[in-house]
Amino acid sequence: MAIPFDATWGTLCERCEDLPDDATLITPLASRRFQITDVQEPRIIIEDVDSGDSQPLDREQFEALAEHTHEALNGYELDRLPPKAEPYAAVLALHPRYVLDEREGTLTELDEVDESAVLDDAPHLSMSEESESEEREEPDIDVYADMLLLIDALEREDLTALDAVETPALVNLYTLLSDVQRNANDLRQDVTDILLTRVQHDRPAHGQYGSVQRTTRQNRSLKDDEKVLEAFEGTGIDREQLVGVDRGKVDEALEVVSVPESAVYDVSESEYVRKADVDEERKETRLQGLKDRLAVSDDPEAEVLRQEIDRLEQEIEDLTEFSPGSAFGES
């Protein structure tokens, strides 16, 4: 049974009014950024962040979208929205009863919902949109510096023909790729720890570049031998069936007897390279030179790299920032 829309509309208006002034929503298909500027009984007024154009979102259209979403068994497909109707889905998703999944492209109505859920938990909402003109500071994290060096190294080589790249250049690439991977994984774990405090099992969190959901994985490790054997006593299971070969004891035995290793191990070899040393001082010097050159250069290629650096910096910031939603029907 559908919830009376009067109650839904009242809750939605309250949540819109409670948004901070700098809260920004993003439509799921076109990634348009907009802000809510006014909440009235028959409509909600929004303003496009980039163009400054104002648009009224009518209550009747919200009600129509809510009805379509209620009737959709697997969520209302957002690509069915009229061209300029995405903001309706983005705003409606502020209501705790509705979940907008950007990855699946659907808006879904939940059967049970916590009407008191805080606005910060809305996955389509950015509570602090940074001004494009505001000067940003360089993040003091290792992966950022390593990515700048890697970008510079990548642009110097023709990676479509790796066989033709000289060995020192390949060593540089391998070293930087290794450093970026390690430091990115460290940052990823830090981000994971924070997301675990924010993402609920029943509500995926969405950003411009993807979505995440909370999952549970079971890890098993055997208890002490005595506890295991005791648990199986009287079950008819032979004790010898539960006592396996201990690799540590096998290695100890191999050291004192003449049994060849190949008799107890399947031995295979694989070759690989590993990072043996990193010249941190050289990296720091090169990084500073790269930054200084970019700061003063008017070369178009330098501007492209500066833009790429800005993009990477934004991606790092977006790792812990939820992006905005979507929208429905406009007459």
Query: pLDDT digit string (tens) for 61-103?
Result: 999 999 999 998 889 998 898 878 999 999 999 998 888 887 7
Q: Confidence band (pLDDT; 50, 70, 90) for 133?
A: very low
Q: Is 295 a domain residue?
A: yes
pLDDT digits over 271-304, tens only?
655 656 767 777 677 667 766 766 665 555 666 6
The reply to whether 135 falls in a domain is: no
Same domain, 170 and 42: no
More confident residue, 83 or 38: 38
pLDDT score of 315: 56
| Residues 146, 57 within the same domain | no
Are 118 and 153 within one domain? no
Question: Is there a domain that residue 82 lies in?
Answer: yes
Shared-domain flag, residues 147 and 118? no
Contact 34/48 with Cβ under 8 angstroms?
A: yes
Residues 55 and 84 in one domain: yes
The answer to whether residue 311 is domain-embedded is yes
How far apart CA 144 and CA 111 sit, in angstroms, is 43
- Given 126, 161, 176, which residue is the final one in a domain? 126
Domain that holds residue 156: 142-194+274-318
Number of domains the chain contains: 2
| 71 and 113 housed in the same domain | yes
Determine, yes or no, domain membership for 41: yes
Q: What is the pLDDT of residues 41-64, one digit of tens each?
A: 899 999 998 889 999 999 999 999
154 and 43: one domain? no
Q: Is residue 233 part of a domain?
A: no
Q: Which of 113-117, 189-193, 273-277 has the highest mean pLDDT?
A: 189-193
Question: Is residue 241 a part of any domain in this protein?
Answer: no
Percent of the chain residues past pLDDT 90, beyond the cut: 24
Same-domain pairing of 164 and 122: no
The residue among 74, 96, 126 that closes a domain is 126
Last residue of a domain, one of 101, 126, 151: 126
The 3-class secondary structure across the chain, one letter per residue, is CCCCHHHHHHHHHHHHHCCCCCCEEECCCCCCEEEEEEECCCEEEEEECCCCCEEEEEHHHHHHHHHHHHHCCCCEEHHHCCCCCHHHHHHHCCCCCEEEECCCCEEEECCCCCCCCCHHHCCCEECCCCCCCCCCCCCCCHHHHHHHHHHHHHHHCCHHHHHHCCHHHHHHHHHHHHHHHHHHHHHHHHHHHHHCCCCECCECEEECCEEECCCCCCCCCCCCHHHHHHHCCCCCCCHHHHCCCCHHHHHHHHCCCCCCHHHCCCCCCCCCCCCCCCCHHHHHHHHHHHHHHHHHCCCHHHHHHHHHHHHHHHHHHHCCCCCCCCCCCCC
Q: Are residues 166 and 293 in the same domain?
A: yes
Task: Please indicate, yes or no, whether residues 98 and 176 belong to a single structural domain of this protein.
Answer: no
- In terms of domains, do 122 and 157 share one? no
Question: Are 31 and 121 in the same domain?
Answer: yes
Decide if 163 is inside a domain.
yes
